[in-house]
């Protein structure tokens, strides 16, 4: 068996893994990423989920922001990517793959191995030291100083016997008000998405239904084929076809089929995670469900003009390389993120401040469960509080016990509930970038990830344009970005219902007095005159200069 040595090994070159690998290599560290599919980018590209969810406006920083800008520039601006009402940034998956490839090729310290299967994890004495994989029929032993878990299912955790969580925690275990009374293995559905394109010349169905095709599965997915308008009974809004087809419309008359209501969400069971070699059987069933829904669209709903795009993936069935996996095994980290971490605290619009933040998000607690559409009395009922833009702790990426390992993708240390807002493409990319920076710094400083200096890590991320505090309007191109971000995680931030910083807005005298009192209480000798400023950017920059002389 051949042996390969590297500094950082990223297992899974999906949305998180590709960002981790690029960032690690940018810091001059030899990095290898292995990926089971022919493409990098994971859910963004290989799974076809090419409509970004969340981290809107200024919250889209770092490598994610670089990708988003490439997409917007290609299509002619941000208004040209706002083609579907679910997202401000919709694009064709193959273009996302190309733009990420540009970023990969720019890094001389990075190798990406495609079509590479994870066989086992090198683990001893609670230390992960690499993996054994199979590439082009050959088994290869990769030894690494730091390994990043960035697989879709959390397979490094499983094969490496790393303590992890799976399914829903009980209220007793997580302490969350919204958690169920008893723990179970219920997790979010996965979906085999499809990219469709509009062809008005097509008059007949182009998809052959499976032998299991049953149109009754899809009744009430849209209003045109429904047996009730009682949305309380349905447990969801009843959209018409026009609303459905504009949901995730992509540029160039394409459509991302990823409809959450009685369509192609595939109920996910624990055996998909534990029986790795049997996953393809479930993938085939999930594909079958998606193709049956396309046939349903073309026949029952009367829209044969929507056909599978033949210019995206190059696969035999014209479907993506992998399903959209919303939830994976979740590692047990030094910090365990629960719903209170994303909910505003009393007398504030924001969750509690995380001084150790390494990423931010703004998506809501969104869960996909087919069980939610069972008949009343049988269905899953989950009611979650309204959350707010949040921060993620460095310690969510670091295992409680194992050395040499960092969590990324959807395997960070969060509860099932919090996974609903940390699983989205932008957040996962930002987490990956933080994981890559953390891994590289551990190598450079010859230490464990837990021992990497927090401020050194945050410095790297800020220089890379990553937000550590969620202001919706403070872009990383703003001249005050660095200082205002550092000041926020030090406890000096603006708290308003719109989550704005408003850098050019005139200062408010009441806010100035409040900040002055806070500085005095913290033991800083300042005068009120030293806080004289024209706008918020100038005010907070002055406070930064006072605190960080």
For the stretch 197-228, pLDDT in tens is 999 999 999 999 999 999 999 999 999 999 99
549 pLDDT tier (thresholds 50, 70, 90): confident
Find the mean pLDDT for residues 232-241.
96
Q: For a pLDDT cut of 70, what percent of the chain falls above it? A: 100
548 pLDDT tier (thresholds 50, 70, 90): confident
| DSSP line for 315-348 | -TTSS-SS-B-----EE-BSS-B-GGGTSPPTT-
Cβ atoms of 131 and 142 within 8 Å: the answer is yes
Q: Which pLDDT score, from 0 to 100, does residue 444 have?
A: 98
466 pLDDT tier (thresholds 50, 70, 90): very high
Range in 2-6, 26-30, 378-382 with the lowest mean pLDDT: 378-382
Q: Which pLDDT score, from 0 to 100, does residue 526 have?
A: 87
Cβ atoms of 248 and 90 within 8 Å: the answer is yes
464 pLDDT tier (thresholds 50, 70, 90): very high
196 pLDDT tier (thresholds 50, 70, 90): very high
Q: Which pLDDT score, from 0 to 100, does residue 523 have?
A: 86
Sign of CA dihedral 453, 458, 459, 461: positive
Find the mean pLDDT for residues 283-304.
98
Cβ atoms of 323 and 42 within 8 Å: the answer is no
Alpha-carbon span 339 to 178, nearest angstrom:
8
pLDDT at 522 over 90: no
Alpha-carbon span 150 to 140, nearest angstrom:
19
For the chain, domains (ranges, CATH) are 2-170+327-463 (3.50.50.60), 190-308 (no CATH), 481-547 (no CATH)
Find the mean pLDDT for residues 118-132.
97
Indicate the average pLDDT of the chain: 97
Q: Kindly state the greatest CA–CA separation across the chain.
A: 78
pTM reported for the whole predicted model = 0.97
Q: Which pLDDT score, from 0 to 100, does residue 124 have?
A: 95
Tokens of 308: 């599978």
pLDDT at 104 over 80: yes
Q: Which pLDDT score, from 0 to 100, does residue 191 have?
A: 98
Q: Which pLDDT score, from 0 to 100, does residue 525 have?
A: 85
pLDDT at 170 over 90: yes
pLDDT at 480 over 80: yes
Find the mean pLDDT for residues 52-71.
97
Q: Which pLDDT score, from 0 to 100, does residue 72 have?
A: 98
Find the mean pLDDT for residues 492-517.
95
- What are 303-358's pLDDT values in tens digits? 999 999 999 999 999 999 999 999 999 999 999 999 999 999 999 999 999 999 99
Q: How many CA atoms lie within 13 A of 433 on its CB side?
A: 31
Alpha-carbon span 47 to 43, nearest angstrom:
4
Q: Which pLDDT score, from 0 to 100, does residue 128 have?
A: 98
């Amino acid at each position: 068996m051949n042996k390969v040595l590297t500094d950082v090994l990223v297992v899974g070159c999906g949305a998180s893994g590709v960002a981790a690998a690029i960032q690690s290599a940018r810091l001059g560290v030899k990095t290898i990423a292995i990926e089971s599919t022919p493409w990098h980018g994971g859910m963004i590209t290989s799974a076809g989920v090419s409509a970004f969810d969340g981290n809107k406006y200024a919250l889209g920083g770092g490598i994610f922001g670089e990708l988003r800008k490439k997409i917007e520039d290609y299509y002619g601006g941000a208004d040209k990517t706002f083609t579907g009402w679910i997202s401000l940034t919709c694009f064709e998956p193959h273009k996302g793959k190309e733009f990420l490839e540009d970023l990969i090729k720019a890094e001389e310290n990075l190798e990406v191995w495609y079509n590479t299967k994870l066989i086992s994890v090198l683990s001893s004495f609670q230390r992960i030291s690499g993996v054994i994989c199979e590439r082009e029929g050959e088994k290869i032993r990769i030894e690494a100083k730091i390994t990043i878990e960035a697989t879709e299912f959390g397979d490094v955790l499983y094969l490496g016997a790393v303590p992890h969580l799976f399914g829903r925690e009980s209220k007793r275990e997580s302490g969350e008000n919204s958690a169920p009374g008893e723990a179970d293995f219920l997790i979010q559905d996965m979906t085999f998405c499809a990219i469709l394109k509009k062809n008005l010349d097509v008059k007949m169905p182009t998809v052959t239904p499976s032998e299991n095709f049953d149109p009754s599965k899809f009744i009430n997915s849209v209003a045109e084929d429904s047996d009730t308008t009682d949305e309380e009974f349905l447990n969801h809004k009843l959209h018409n076809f026009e609303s459905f087809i504009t949901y995730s419309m992509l540029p160039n008359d394409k459509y991302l089929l990823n409809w959450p209501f009685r369509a192609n969400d595939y109920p996910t069971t624990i055996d998909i995670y534990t029986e790795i070699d049997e996953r393809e059987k479930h993938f085939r069933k999930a594909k079958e469900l998606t193709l049956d829904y396309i046939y349903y669209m073309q026949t029952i709903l009367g829209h044969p003009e929507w056909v599978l795009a033949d210019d995206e993936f190059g696969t035999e069935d014209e479907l993506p390389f992998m399903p959209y996996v919303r939830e994976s095994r979740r590692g047990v980290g030094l910090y365990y993120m629960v719903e209170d971490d994303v909910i505003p605290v009393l007398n504030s619009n924001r969750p509690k401040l995380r001084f150790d933040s390494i990423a931010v998000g703004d998506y809501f607690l969104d869960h996909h469960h087919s069980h939610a559409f069972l008949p009343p009395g049988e269905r899953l009922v989950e009611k979650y509080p309204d959350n707010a833009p949040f921060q993620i702790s460095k310690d969510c990426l670091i295992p409680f016990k194992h050395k040499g390992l960092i969590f990324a993708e959807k395997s960070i240390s969060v509860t099932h509930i919090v996974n609903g807002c940390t699983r989205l493409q932008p957040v996962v990319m930002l987490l990956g970038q933080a994981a890559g920076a953390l891994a590289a710094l551990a190598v450079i400083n010859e230490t464990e990830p837990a021992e990497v200096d927090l401020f050194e890590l945050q410095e790297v991320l800020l220089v890379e344009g990553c937000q550590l505090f969620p202001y919706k309007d403070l872009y990383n191109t703003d001249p005050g970005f660095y200082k205002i971000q550092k000041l926020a995680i030090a406890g000096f931030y603006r708290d308003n219902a719109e989550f704005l910083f408003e850098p050019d807005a005139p200062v408010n005298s009441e806010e100035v007095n409040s900040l002055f009192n806070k500085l005095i209480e913290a033991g800083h000798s300042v005068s009120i005159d030293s806080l004289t400023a024209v706008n918020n950017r100038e005010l907070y920059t002055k406070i930064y200069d006072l605190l960080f002389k």
